[in-house]
């Protein structure tokens, strides 16, 4: 079938018009849509990456905080143990000193009590001996001895009247 130049021109015009039409109303919006989509994906990817990094940082910070808290807790525990140990030692030392003081006090009291008892016994013995001597004298001090006693008293002592 022969192709006429008029038909050819018409076809050519058709093609050009179609091209222009398609380019204007299809290619450009689709390209724009695709570009925007790509940009959105890139933004979301970047955002996701940022979030991931942030999360990682937060995880690290949390771990660091936990580690610090653990160290601090250990330090507090050690300090508390030390303080308790010191307090216990101090209490024991105080108790020991108090016990020593009480023992010393008791020893002094015992010695004092013994001394008092001895003194009391001596006093009682002396009183008893003197009472006994008085009883013996009541029986044994005869008029002769009495005279002799009076002689001795008057001779041995001088009166300054």
Give min distance, CB of 143 to another protein, in A: 7
Nearest-CA neighbor of 18 among 8, 10, 29, 7? Answer: 10
How many residues make up the chain in this entry? 161
CA distance 91 to 82: 14
Range 109-138, binding another protein (CB under 8 A): 115, 118-119, 122-123, 126-127, 130, 133-134, 137-138
CB of 135 to another protein, least distance (A): 10
Tokens read off for 47: 């955002």
- Assess contact for 143 and 151: CB atoms under 8 A: no
**Considering beta carbons, is residue 60 or 123 the nearer one to another protein?**
123
**Interface with another protein, residue 144, by CB under 8 A:** no
CB-based contact 145:153 (threshold 8 Å): no
Task: Specify the residue, 88 or 123, whose C-beta has the smaller distance to another protein.
Answer: 123
Contacts of 141 (CB under 8 A, 6+ apart): 149
| Cα–Cα distances in angstroms (integers) from residue 143 to residues 16, 66, 134, 138, 149, in the given order | 185, 114, 16, 11, 10
Subset of 50-69 contacting another protein (CB under 8 A): none
- Closer to another protein by CB, 3 or 153: give it: 153
> CB-wise, 17 or 128, nearer to another protein?
128
Q: Which residue has the tokens 């006693």?
A: 149
Q: How far apart are the first and last CA of the chain?
A: 198
Could you say whether residue 149 binds another protein (CB under 8 A)?
A: yes
Q: Mask: binding to another protein, 70-109, rule CB under 8 A, as x and -?
A: ----------------------------------------
Question: Where on the chain is the footprint of another protein (CB under 8 A)?
Answer: 115, 118-119, 122-123, 126-127, 130, 133-134, 137-138, 141, 143, 145-147, 149-151, 153-154, 157, 159-161
């Amino acid at each position: 079938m022969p192709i006429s130049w008029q038909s050819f021109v018409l076809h050519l015009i058709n093609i050009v018009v179609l091209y222009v039409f398609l380019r204007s109303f299809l290619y450009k919006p689709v390209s724009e849509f695709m570009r925007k989509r790509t940009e959105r994906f890139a933004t979301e990817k970047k955002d996701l990456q940022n979030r991931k990094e942030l999360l990682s940082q937060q995880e690290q910070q949390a771990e660091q905080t936990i580690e610090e808290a653990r160290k601090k807790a250990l330090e507090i525990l050690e300090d508390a143990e030390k303080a308790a140990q010191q307090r216990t030692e101090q209490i024991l030392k105080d108790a020991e000193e108090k016990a020593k003081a009480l023992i010393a006090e008791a020893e002094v009291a015992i010695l004092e009590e013994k001394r008092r008892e001895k003194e009391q016994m001596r006093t009682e013995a002396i009183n008893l001996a003197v009472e006994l001597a008085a009883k013996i004298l009541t029986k044994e001090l005869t008029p002769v001895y009495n005279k002799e006693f009076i002689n001795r008293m008057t001779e041995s002592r001088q009166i300054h009247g």
